[in-house]
Every structure is written in C-alpha cells, then in structure tokens.
Structure 1
Amino acid sequence: MDDLTLLRLFVQVVDKGSFSAVARATHTTPSAVSRQISRLEEDLGTRLLQRTTRQQVLTEAGEIYLRHARQIVEDTEAARRAVSQLGQDPSGVLRITAEADLAHALLSPMLPEFLAKYPNLRVQLHTSAKMEDLIDRGIDVAIRMGHLESSSLIAKRLVMSRSLLVASPAFLANNGPPSHPGDLSTLPCLSFKTGTERTIWRFKTGDEVRDVPIAGRFQVGSLVLLREAAKSGLGIAMLPIWTVRDDLDAGTLQPVLPGFPLEPPATPINAVYPSGRFLASKVRVFIDALSLWAETHFK
C-alpha cells in the first residue's frame, strides 16, 4: 500500500471512528485496516492512535499528523478534479454576489455572451451591499469595490474605478461652482452612505492631502439614486466615472473641481473567491471573462 493510500486510510479511520466502519466501507477486514495503521505508525516511529476495545483516540502526534494528512488528501483530490476538468466544459451552478449597482453596470452586459459560450452553466446572482461570508453562503465568487481587509480570501483585481465630483448645470448656475475644495463645506453635497460614519472627501494638492467634511440633506446607499439626485439639482456628488459617462456626454452633469485630484485617485474592483490551491473551472472561466470585459469596457 503506497503512502497516499495509507494517508487516506488514516483519515478515514479518524472520521469513521473505528476500524470496523472503515473495513465495511473498503470491503476488507478490521484486522487488515489495523495492520495498515500499525505499519504507518512503525514508519513514523510514533503512535498515532490509542486503541481500546471500543474506540481509537488520537494521540498528540496523531492530531498533528491528521491535520497534515487531511490537507494532503484534500489537495490531491482537488488536483485530480482540476486536471480532469481541463478537457470539459464548465457546468453546474455558479453563485455570484455583488452590490446591486455594480451588478447592473458590470455583470448585466457581459453575462448574456458568457452564458451563451457555456451552455452547461447556470448563474445565481445575489445582490447585496453587505460583505457576504462566501463559505457559509456557498458563494463561488463576489464582486467587490474598495480596498479589501486582510483575510483568507483570494482577490483578483479586475479594474481600477476612478471617481469625480459632478453637479447639474442648474445647480452650478444657482449656487456658483466651487473654486477650492474648502468651498464644499458650505455647499449641499450628496453622499453615498450605508453607515453612520461622518462623510469625508479627500483631495490631494501637491504633497498634501486635505480632508473636507461633507454636509448635505441627502445620503443614499445606491449609486443610481445618487446620480439621479445630482441630475435633479440637489447638490454635488462624488460618483464613479462609469456611472456618469453618458450624463457628462449629454451635458446633464458637469465636472466639479476638475483641477483638484481626489485621494485615493482610484478604487479597485475585485473578484473575490475562497482560498484554495485549485480553482474550479466554472469560477476560472467567469473571472477570466469578467476581467477581459472590464478591461475593455469599464474604465
């Protein structure tokens, strides 16, 4: 029996709790299973299981060995699946989560062509502004905008999203365009807000970064509603360029303070998925397609 088979057998014994249970699952005898575990212990020079007439209990060495053995077995199975999928079309259900505005702007235009290319794939798209627990929710990939906190998740940057300040021509005519970031503190500003934290806009002038506190009568957690509020003349809004490009072209919104760069100058949009040495083909092809689409259409 090779080393990998012994590892699998040891993990099975721990998971099933007895030699008899493993023997029934592998169509052998409890004594044969016991001999193989004894052989493994002899090779390692230490006891992994304390045996009684009713059960096997892991020793301290057994607990340490189990962690490594389980990882090796899981990685081997994942490697086998990854290789076997290379010649197969991605299939099954691809579960995605994204904030609603981002899903509308980024995913809606590319999904029809993607699904046509992979007819054996089904997509379940869950829209939420919350940072979902991908593993607990069984989500394959999340699309998130913003800098990510350190975690066990893997992130692939799709594109950098640049923002700018905009307002309607009527608002600028009635209030006068600001000439300096400090002027914003006395003007009605519209903020994208989902919490109770104070809204601060940051600007970079030379080597200095200036924080400007924003006050206004309208706060909303939707980029679409924020854009519509700016178009209706309620105030000045900070919005990603991809949400207002058509309005800028049409003249229904105009740039505000274009000579004062925002800090940070751009925000990353990432595809995030649970860590793992091998990526399921359905996730891999989706991220590749989304990355290509974002690079060519979403700047």
Structure 2
Amino acid sequence: MSRLQDLEVFVQVVNSGNFAKAAVVLEISPSAISRRISHLEDQLGVRLFNRTTRSLSLTEVGERYFKRCLSILADLESADREAKQHSKQPQGILHVSCSTMFAHNYLLRRIPEFLAHYSRLSIQLVLSDNVVDVVGEGIDVAIRISELADSSLITRRLVSDCRIICAAPAYLARYGTPKTPDDLATHNCLALNAYKTTLNQWRFRDLVGLREISVGGNFTVDSGIALYDAVLAGLGIARVSAFLADQALRSGQLIRILSEYEAENDVGIYAIFPSNRHLLPKVLCFVEFLCHSLHSKG
C-alpha cells in the first residue's frame, strides 16, 4: 500500500471505531489493518491509538493527525472531482497558438461563435509566426499551415491548402505581369525573414521540370500578416496561403499569377496538440469546431 492508502486506512479505522468494522468496509483482513496502522505509527514515530482488548481510542497526537488527514483527503477528493468535471464538459482556459495571418484573416471572426456555444470556456490566444514549443509553453492547440506536420506531436489535418503567387492589380499595372518564373528576377518579390527561408524558395514546374527559384526584393518581414498587407498595398509579388487569400482573390484585391507553372504544393492546415491520451473536452470541441468551420468556410 502507498502512504495515501495508509491514511485512508487510518481514517476508516477512526470512523468505524475498530479494526474489524474497518476491514469489512475496506475489504481486507483485520490483521492487514493492524499491520498498516502499526506501520504508519512506526513511520511517524508516535502512537496514534490507545489500544485495549475492549476499546480503541485516539491519542492526543492521533486526534490532531486525524483532523489533518481528513483535510488532506477532502482536498484530494475535491481535486479528483474537479479533474473529472473537466473530463466530461468543456470548461476552463483553452491556450491556442496560431500565426498572425490565420488569426486576422480567419480565426478572430469565428471565436465569438465558438465561445457562445461554450460559455464555461475562455480562450488565451498566442499569436506568433515562429514555430511555438507546444509542450514547453503550455499550448493546448496550435494551428499551423505547413508542408509537414510535427511528427513528435499529435496532429489532425483540418483542411487542405496550397501556396499561390499573387499581386495587387496596382502593382501589375505599374510593373507588368510576369509571364514565366524567370521573369520574377526583375520583379519585387516580398519575402519572409531568414528563419522562414524555405518559404522564399518558390517551386515551379515547366518544360525543364521541377525547379526552385530564390526570390527577393526591397522588403522582408517576420510576420505573415504584414507580408499579406504589403502585397495588398501593391508593394510587390508574394506567395501566400490560397485558403486565407480566397476572399481577396474573389473580390479582385489580389490577382493570381503564374498558376500554369505551379508545382504541387499541398500544405494543409493542421491542429497540433501534445497528446491524445485523456484529451480534454475543451480541446476536442475546439478542434471539431475548427474542422467544421474550415470546411464550411463562410
């Protein structure tokens, strides 16, 4: 038995009044009860009970110890009850991480709908274009747009996505529309800073085959939403998420270019979380909400 079980045996003996009745409740033998109490007293170096052949009573130390044990066991029961409540219904704080562009172009306008359904939940949103340490930073769910989901974590693909090359009409009117990938060498291509250099290698397929072109220009930034705002403003050409740029494309704020040269670049939008063991309802309901809303996007 563990030390906690020793305390439970001790409390049950006090409540029952003798070893025999406690043994019946705990479904162990009276001799086992006697051994556990003796072991507990040896561990503490004090006598907890006054024993006679006819009676059993607490010593002064035993009285004080009993009160403390009751408090400890009550706290444990309360903690267990609270944990079980979390396992049954969504409540508490949900820590969510995602990129600035995903938040501004999609997530922020959907959070009110989610919270309206789950009044006992609150969301703490962490915006970063860096890859966040999900476990180290206590994140419940991270949303990532990536070619490869992090294999060391549990992932769920929410919706397919791809990266497209586009520019604002004003930029194309001023500088012309590239006709081939090689034409990008004479255009201002907006880029993300060094830690995302792979996103600045644009992949194309032409008569030569599959190839990558390194792009650059007079503006780099470490924020996806800032890059997106810059291309909307007509600063240059950018490669962005088709899913998040869909509204701007439909409204004519952005124009897709070089699509006939695009290589397959299915990246996917993923929900990533530390573990699916005892996955909390707050995580499950949020992931299900994302999956449904992304597919019904509107």
TM-score of the alignment, normalized to the shorter chain, above 0.5: yes
The residue that corresponds to 2:186 in the other structure is: 186
Counterpart for residue 101 of structure 1: 101
Partner of 1:234: 235
Regions of 4+ moved over 4 Å = none
- d(CA) in 1 for partners of 2:10, 2:239: 67
> Aligned in 2, Cα 1:25/1:154: closer, same or farther, shift over 3 Å?
same
Matched, 1:31 2:27: no
SS in 2 for 1:178: coil
Q: Is the 8 A contact 1:171 1:233 kept in 2?
A: yes
Within-5 A mapping of 1:1-299 = 9=1, 13=2, 23-24=6-7, 26-27=9-10, 31-32=35-36, 88-146=88-146, 147-151=148-152, 153-193=153-193, 195=195, 197=197, 199-205=200-206, 208-264=209-265, 266-297=266-297
Q: Percent identity?
A: 32
Decide whether the 8 Å contact of 1:185 with 1:212 is kept in 2.
no
**Cα distance in 2, alignment partners of residues 196 and 135 from structure 1:** 22
Inter-CA distance 118–231: structure 2 relative to 1 (3 Å threshold): closer
Deviation at 1:96, TM superposition (A): 1.1
SS at match of 2:272: strand
Q: Which string of whole-angstrom CA distances, capped at 9 and with x for unpartnered residues, describes residues 68-119 of structure 1?
A: xxxxxxxxxx9xx77x767x43211211111222122332122111111111
**Structure 2 segments unaligned to the other structure (5+ residues):** 12-32, 45-79
Given that residues 145 and 268 in structure 1 are in contact (C-alpha distance below 8 angstroms), is that contact kept between their aligned partners in structure 2? yes
Compared with structure 1, are the counterparts of its residues 33 and 123 closer, same or farther at alpha carbon in structure 2 (3 Å cutoff)?
farther
Q: Indicate the SS of the match to 2:244.
A: helix
Match of 1:137, SS?
A: coil
Give the number of aligned pairs: 237
CA contact (8 A) 1:209 1:263 kept: no
CA-based RMSD of the aligned residues comes to: 3.2
The CA deviation at 1:207 is: 9.1
| 1:120-139 alpha-carbon deviations (Å, 9 max, x no partner) | 11211121223222233222
Q: CA deviation at 1:33?
A: 8.5
Q: Judge conservation of contact 1:193–1:221 (CA < 8 Å) in 2.
A: yes
Q: Counterparts of 2:7 and 2:123 in 1: how far apart (Å)? A: 39
Distance 1:144 1:277, change over 3 A: same
Matched letter for residue 209 of structure 1:
L
Q: Offset at 1:283? A: 0.8
Helix, strand or coil at the partner of 2:260: coil
- TM superposition shift of 1:142: 1.1
Deviations, residues 183-232 of structure 1 (Å, cap 9, x unaligned): 21232211233527473100133793111111211112223322332233
Give the CA deviation at 1:22. 5.5
In the other structure, the counterpart of 2:61 is: none
Asked if the contact 1:22–1:30 (Cα under 8 Å) also holds between the matched residues in 2, the reply is no
Q: Aligned to 1:284, what secondary structure does the other structure show? A: helix
- Once the two structures are TM-superposed, the CA of residue 275 in structure 1 deviates from its matched residue by 1.4
Using a 3 Å threshold, how does the CA distance of structure 1 residues 105 and 232 change in structure 2: closer, same or farther? closer
Instruction: Classify 1:286/1:185 alpha carbon distance in 2 versus 1 (closer, same or farther; 3 Å).
Output: same
Q: Any conservation in 1 of the 2:96–2:141 contact (CA below 8 Å)?
A: yes
Counterparts of 2:99 and 2:127, CA distance in 1: 5
Kept in 2: contact 1:164–1:262 (CA 8 A)? no
Give the structure-1-normalised TM-score.
Answer: 0.68
TM-score, with length taken from structure 2 = 0.68
1:39-94 C-alpha deviation (Å, 9 max, x unpaired): xxxxxxxxxxxxxx99xxxxxxxxxxxxxxxxxxxxxxx9xx77x767x4321121
Q: Extract unaligned runs of 5+ from structure 1.
A: 1-8, 14-18, 36-52, 55-77
